[in-house]
């Protein structure tokens, strides 16, 4: 199990390193950068949803908070984007921790409902605070600079996105097989059992929420600097549902699943091009079909089939 | 070791447990029996902090633990199993047992993410496998929880509880749904656990098993103390015979 994991991880690194050789044009590079940057947020959301079983349908709020946070700090306060990305992450972490405490005291689906509310509030703030955010039209974002060197070329961005993705995956894979990861998965499997075994359930849910928010923030900040532009669409309910669908389709608690789910749901709409109005229907349909036929999600289901073949 | 005095829990108008008192001495097997609906499981849920009692007090080694949360009780050395299984079906059998050792691990998320608990995890895994062998389910060390038969899951819960190295272990019907051979094995296991210095409180339906392994038996009926004593005393207690057989 352990060696299989690290083998898959090395294979992922090699694949990401070789991928630019086959990406013949800027369009394909652009799509893969978007996939990788989004996957960072989905890997984080998977820690909350897949590991801990706490569903968030407002995670786009954190992606947007990272995007706008870094954009505003860099534009209005002239802060170096590398620092503004980190400041946004720390700020959102504190914010997520503060709001998680009271929300998680409530029982049942309160977290899901609260994240829905959060998404709507953040979206409204971004649309209304025109002086800071540019309102519904969005705002331009300065490029990331290291000294005199500005990261603008697609291939440079490819390496930034790929290395951040690899680090994110590494963190998530490590967490899965750690005492904290087992505590999170345990409270998902049986909250009663986890409590009796000494797991402070509220604290672990809070920490999973904060960690997933930070992943979303980093993803949002990088995406904003890559696109050189942000708009409130980033915080939309549709985007939140998209992120959650990516987790479910790829496979609950599976880090590779998060990447596969993101890749499929980012590239498929590109192929469907021109059907933009049907996007929401498309995600709803995928979510429904996954729930009906692959309740565990793609990667865990395929892994199980392979395991059974081997066992024979 | 464990003192329960005047414990009462009401659900709506019904008192599931009413003014129950008893004392569990250390290093003994203390059983709680009674007809269906006598309040045995409610009593367990009260002791283990799942429910908060309406009245009464629970003391562990002299200090009050009334109303303390289950995760805090775990740190005081109490662990339990469940009548209706509470196995994490999203994890492997071994991981379930490893979860039992939660309080003996450094469980910071940051540490987990940077892989700082790998070496400790390897030791933990070995210990979990040893515990699985101890309870007699060692063959399933590599299996996923969903692949295990019922009898194995029952014992897996005991292994998980043992992983927390408890001083006081509450077993809620560990033989329910098991066949005769399995029941016999579980009785043997409970004897071994008690011999290793862990105090056991047992709720069980299987009379033969209870009579065979208990140092002390408490009989509940309609949520109240009905009788208390050794297996021999309980066997000949007219009130107990009446409650079970309905004889007058």
**What is the ipTM, given to two decimal places?**
0.91
Is 0.80 surpassed by the pTM of this model?
Answer: yes
**Of A283 and A244, the one with more pLDDT:** A244
A142 located within any domain = yes
- pLDDT above 90 (res A244): yes
CA B63 → CA A116, B21, B26, B229, distances in Å? Answer: 44, 16, 15, 25
* pLDDT band at residue A108 using 50, 70 and 90 as cut-offs: low
Cβ A179–B112 below 8 Å, yes or no?
yes
* Contact yes or no for B113 and A178 at CB 8 A: yes
DSSP state for residue A143 in the 8-state scheme: P
Examine the pLDDT at A5 and tell me if it is beyond 50: yes
Tally C-beta pairs within 8 A across A and B: 120
Integer Cα distance of A265 and A297 in angstroms: 13
Closest chain B CA to residue A50: B90
User: Is the Cβ of B44 closer than 8 Å to some Cβ of chain A?
Assistant: no
On the question of pLDDT at A4 being above 60, the answer is: no
Of A174, A196, A253, the CB nearest to B112: A174
The rounded percent of chain A whose pLDDT value lies above 70 is: 96
Residue A248 lies in a domain: no
Do residues A127 and A65 touch, judged by C-beta distance below 8 A? Answer: no
- How far lies A60's CA from each of A48, A125, A236, A291, in Å? 14, 14, 7, 22
Residue A306 counted as domain residue: no
Q: Specify the number of domains making up chain A.
A: 1
Give the max Cα distance, chain B.
69
Alpha-carbon distance B193 to A9, whole Å?
42
- Asked whether residue A25 is assigned to any structural domain, the reply reads yes
Does residue A257 sit within a domain? no
Q: Give the tokens for residue A273.
A: 């091009």
pLDDT in tens, A140-187: 998 888 777 878 888 899 999 999 999 999 999 999 999 999 999 999
| Length of chain B (residues) | 248
Q: What is the structure's pLDDT at A9?
A: 92
Task: For residue B100, list chain A residues with Cβ-Cβ distance below 8 A.
Answer: 197
Residue A275 lies in a domain: no
Rounded-to-10 torsion of CA B50, B56, B61, B64: 80
| Residue A119, in any domain of the structure | yes
A chain contacts of residue B168, beta-carbon cutoff 8 Å: none
Q: Which residue has the higher pLDDT, B171 or A104?
A: B171
Domain hosting A196: range is 21-236
Nearest neighbour of B88 by CB, restricted to A171, A177, A190: A190
Query: Taking CB atoms and an 8 Å limit, are A196 and B98 in contact across chains?
Result: no
For residue A57, the SS3 value is: coil
E strands, A198-277, are 229-230
A178–B121 CB contact, under 8 Å: yes
Q: Does B231 touch chain A (CB under 8 A)?
A: no
Query: Is residue A249 included in any domain, yes or no?
Result: no
Identify the H or E element spanning A150: strand A149-151
In the 8-state DSSP scheme, what is residue A142? P
Query: B127 in contact with A at a CB cutoff of 8 Å?
Result: no
State whether B107 and A179 contact (CB < 8 Å): yes
Q: What angle, rounded to 10 degrees, do the helices at A255-272 and A298-311 form?
A: 120
Cβ partners under 8 Å of residue A54, min gap 6: A48, A111, A112, A205, A208, A209
What residues of chain B score a pLDDT lower than 50? 248
Question: What pLDDT does A51 receive?
Answer: 96
pLDDT in tens, A30-76: 999 999 999 999 999 999 999 999 999 999 999 999 999 999 999 99
Name which of A269, A304, A305, A303 is nearest A286 in CA terms: A269
- Binary contact (B112, A207; C-beta < 8 A): no
């Amino acid at each position: 199990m352990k060696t299989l994991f690290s083998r898959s991880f090395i294979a992922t690194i090699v694949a990401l390193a070789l991928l630019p050789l086959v990406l013949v044009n800027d369009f394909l590079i652009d799509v893969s950068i978007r996939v990788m940057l989004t996957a960072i947020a989905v890997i984080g959301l998977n820690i909350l949803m897949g590991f801990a079983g706490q569903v968030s349908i407002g995670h786009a709020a954190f992606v947007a908070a990272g995007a706008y946070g870094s954009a505003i700090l860099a534009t209005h306060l002239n802060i170096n984007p590398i620092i503004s990305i980190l400041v946004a992450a720390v700020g959102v972490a504190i914010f997520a921790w503060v709001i998680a405490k009271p929300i998680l005291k409530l029982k049942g689906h309160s977290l899901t409902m609260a994240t829905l509310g959060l998404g709507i509030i953040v979206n409204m703030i971004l649309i209304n605070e025109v002086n800071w955010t540019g309102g519904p039209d969005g705002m331009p974002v300065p490029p990331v600079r290291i000294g005199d060197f500005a990261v603008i070329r697609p291939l440079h961005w490819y390496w930034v996105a790929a290395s951040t993705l690899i680090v994110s995956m590494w963190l998530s894979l490590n967490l899965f097989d750690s005492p904290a990861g087992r505590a999170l998965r345990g409270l998902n499997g049986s909250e009663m059992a986890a409590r009796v075994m000494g797991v402070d359930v509220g604290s672990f849910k809070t920490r999973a929420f904060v960690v997933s928010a930070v992943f979303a923030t980093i993803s949002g900040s990088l995406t904003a600097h890559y696109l050189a532009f942000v708009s409130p669409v980033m915080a939309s309910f549709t985007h939140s549902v998209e992120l959650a669908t990516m987790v479910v389709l790829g496979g609950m608690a599976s880090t590779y699943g998060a990447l596969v789910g993101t890749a499929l749901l980012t590239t498929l709409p590109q192929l469907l091009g021109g059907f933009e109005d049907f996007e929401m229907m498309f995600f709803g349909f995928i979510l429904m079909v996954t729930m009906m036929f692959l309740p565990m999600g793609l990667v865990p289901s395929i892994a199980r089939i392979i395991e059974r073949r081997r066992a024979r | 070791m464990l003192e329960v005095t005047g414990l009462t829990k009401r659900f709506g108008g019904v008192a599931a447990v009413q003014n129950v008192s008893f004392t569990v001495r250390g290093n003994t097997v203390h059983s709680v029996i009674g007809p269906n609906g006598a309040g045995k499981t409610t009593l367990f849920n009260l002791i283990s902090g799942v429910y908060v009692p309406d009245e009464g007090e629970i003391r562990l080694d002299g200090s009050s633990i009334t109303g303390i949360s289950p995760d805090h009780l775990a740190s005081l050395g109490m662990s339990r199993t469940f009548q209706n299984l509470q196995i994490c079906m999203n994890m492997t059998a071994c991981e379930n047992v490893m979860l039992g050792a939660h309080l003996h691990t450094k469980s910071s998320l940051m540490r987990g993410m940077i892989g700082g608990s790998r070496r400790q995890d390897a030791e933990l895994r070995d210990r979990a496998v040893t515990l699985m062998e101890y309870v007699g389910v060692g063959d399933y060390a590599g299996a996923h929880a969903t692949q295990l038969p019922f009898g194995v899951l029952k014992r897996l819960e005991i292994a998980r509880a043992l992983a927390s190295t408890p001083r006081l272990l509450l077993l809620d019907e560990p033989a329910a749904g098991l066949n005769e051979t399995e029941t016999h094995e579980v009785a043997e296991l409970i004897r071994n656990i008690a011999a290793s210095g862990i105090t056991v409180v047992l709720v069980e339906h299987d009379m033969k098993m209870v009579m065979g392994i208990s140092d002390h038996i408490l009989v509940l009926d309609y949520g109240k103390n009905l009788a208390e004593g050794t297996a021999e005393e309980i066997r000949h207690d007219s009130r107990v015979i009446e409650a079970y057989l309905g004889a007058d």
